[in-house]
Amino acid sequence: MAALRRLCLIVCLLSTCLPSLARAWWDDAWFDPAFLEAHSLAGGSGFIYVPSPEVLSNGLMAGGLHRYNAKIARGFWGRLELGGTVELEDWSINDAEKNNELNARLALLTPAKNGIALAVGADQVGFEDLGFPGLHFLPKANLAYQGRVYAMTGLVPSRLPMLYLAGGYIGTHHGGSPVGSVSLVTVPGLLAIGEYDGVGTNVGLRALLSTQIKLDLDVTHLQSIDTNQPFALVLEDNVYFGVSYSEVWP
């Protein structure tokens, strides 16, 4: 009988506390715009490989590092984002011009004014894409013709303030594909990301150490992972860790 009374007491406490805890999480776990200030693997701010539907705010500069790829981008007038990336693996001063890629994004609609975000842009653009191969701006083989153009839209649903939905279309030298991303604040300061980038499915986590510092852990292109291959190859080919830092400057 004493055990039954204790069980009833525990059930009563849980029924009283859990709804309030759920409401507290609902109130606190809203989508923080700082999550969108982190760099994507493709360069420029965004999720894993899917670019952001929003641009960095005016004067905000963001830098990032994913494995050997260093990135920097800056927002202008709340409508334009410009940036570039440098591949640091096997970098040498003699072929420094072969390691650079550019990215740009223009916001057509903004959440503050229109309720949704809509942007067009391009990333992983090498000098060969701009017509400069004759000037010896030839990229390394693994960087050649990776350029993408895209249109992306996104929003936070009014009844689901912890969720960010993004979708759009990415075109490449090899064709184009619809893309999409779903991002959920699992607990305040931690974002879970699932996306399809036109090539494969990616999942990841983004943690806010502060509104300026974000840590990423991503597993890319799940369909390409062979369960029979050594785990070391999975770490080398499909797992990415990165950090991004943002600050208004100058």
Domain range list for the chain? 29-248
* Residue 99 token pair: 């390691």
Distance CA 190, CA 166 (A): 18
CA distance 46 to 38: 6
Is residue 69 within 8 A of residue 101, CB to CB? The reply is no
Q: What is the C-alpha to C-alpha distance for residues 43 and 130, in angstroms, rounded to an integer?
A: 17
Q: Topology of domain 29-248, per CATH?
A: Porin (2.40.160)
pTM of the full structure: 0.83
Instruction: Give the per-residue pLDDT at 218.
Output: 97
Q: Is the pLDDT of residue 105 over 70?
A: yes
> Is the per-residue pLDDT at 122 higher than 70?
yes
- For residue 58, which of 250, 231, 212 has the smallest C-alpha distance? 250
* Predicted confidence (pLDDT) at residue 21 exceeds the cutoff of 50: no
- Give pLDDT, residue 220: 96
Two tokens, residue 108:
């057509």
Of 130 and 113, the one with more pLDDT? 113
Q: Give the residue from 213, 199, 206, 150 showing the smallest Cα distance to 183.
A: 206
Q: What is the pLDDT of residue 227?
A: 83
